[in-house]
């Protein structure tokens, strides 16, 4: 039999036309590029996530080690110490520095006036003194010297009388500015 006589069931091959359109595969290339970028990004983000999870595990392990090494009793002691120090600092801030007031009074005392007694009132910020002066003029000079002190905000007198020896006795209450007797840095 001749080959020509045989029946051919397969269709004949067509030749493609040699016409190419510019950019005909553009969508295929763009889609492939996007798919490649998505796959690379997915792998990179997966690696980054794994790295972050490893770091988180390490930090959690370090925290648990530090937590185990803590000494709770010492921490409680430190908290108590902190509370006590804050109370002490409040006490120091509100402390009345009587030495400042007494030093001021001692520096202002006249030679012919002598102190018999003194007392202090922390709530009022005042010092009470009982004095004896040789005369009313000496007492007036003493009052004038007290009035020159800027730290003294008020003076008040009690009962004034003369003794059998001719001395003038009185009591004076000297009120100081709060800032002067409260703050040690002035």
The dihedral through the CA atoms of 30, 31, 34, 36 has a sign that is negative
- Given pLDDT bands bounded at 50, 70 and 90, which one contains residue 105? confident
Distance CA 127, CA 105 (A): 9
Cβ–Cβ < 8 Å for 159, 170: yes
Task: Establish how many alpha carbons lie within 13 A of residue 127's alpha carbon, considering only the half-sphere containing its beta carbon.
Answer: 23
The two most distant CA atoms of the chain are separated, in Å, by 173
* pLDDT range class, residue 186, cuts 50, 70, 90: very low
Measured CA to CA, the distance from residue 170 to residue 30 in angstroms comes to 108
What the block records as the tokens of 96 is: 């009345």
Q: 120 - beta bridge partners?
A: 127
The CATH number of 98-182 is 3.30.1360.100
> Rounded mean pLDDT of 16-42?
84
Cα torsion angle, 164, 165, 168, 169, sign = negative
Q: What percent of the chain is predicted at pLDDT more than 70?
A: 87
Report how far Cα 18 is from the mean position of its chain's Cα atoms.
Answer: 82
**Residue 101 has what pLDDT?**
82
The mean predicted confidence, pLDDT, of the chain is 85
Report the alpha-carbon distance of residue 60 to residue 39 in Å, rounded.
31
Where would I find the H helices in the chain? 26-69, 72-93, 98-108, 136-147, 178-182
- Average pLDDT on 10-15 reads 62
For residue 143, give the nearest of 176, 170, 177 by alpha carbon.
Answer: 170
Q: Is the pLDDT of residue 184 over 60?
A: no
Q: Give the Cα separation of 120 and 96 in Å (integer).
A: 10
Tens-digit pLDDT profile for residues 136-146 = 999 999 999 98
Return the number of other C-beta atoms located less than 10 Å from residue 121's C-beta.
Answer: 12
């Amino acid at each position: 039999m001749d080959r020509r006589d045989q029946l051919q069931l397969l269709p004949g091959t067509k030749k493609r036309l040699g016409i190419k359109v510019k950019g005909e595969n553009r969508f295929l290339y763009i889609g492939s590029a996007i798919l490649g970028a998505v796959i690379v990004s997915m792998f990179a983000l997966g690696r980054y996530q794994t790295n972050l999870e490893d770091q988180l595990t390490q930090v959690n392990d370090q925290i648990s080690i530090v937590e185990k090494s803590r000494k709770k009793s010492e921490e409680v002691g430190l908290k108590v110490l902190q509370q006590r120090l804050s109370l002490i600092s409040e006490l120091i801030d509100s402390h009345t520095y009587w030495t400042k007031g007494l030093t001021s009074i001692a520096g202002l005392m006249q030679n012919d006036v002598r102190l018999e007694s003194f007392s202090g009132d922390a709530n009022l910020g005042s010092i009470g003194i009982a004095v004896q002066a040789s005369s009313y003029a000496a007492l007036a000079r003493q009052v004038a010297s007290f009035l020159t002190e800027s730290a003294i905000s008020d003076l008040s007198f009690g009962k004034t009388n003369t003794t059998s020896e001719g001395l003038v006795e009185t009591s004076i209450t000297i009120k100081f500015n709060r800032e002067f007797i409260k703050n040690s840095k002035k």
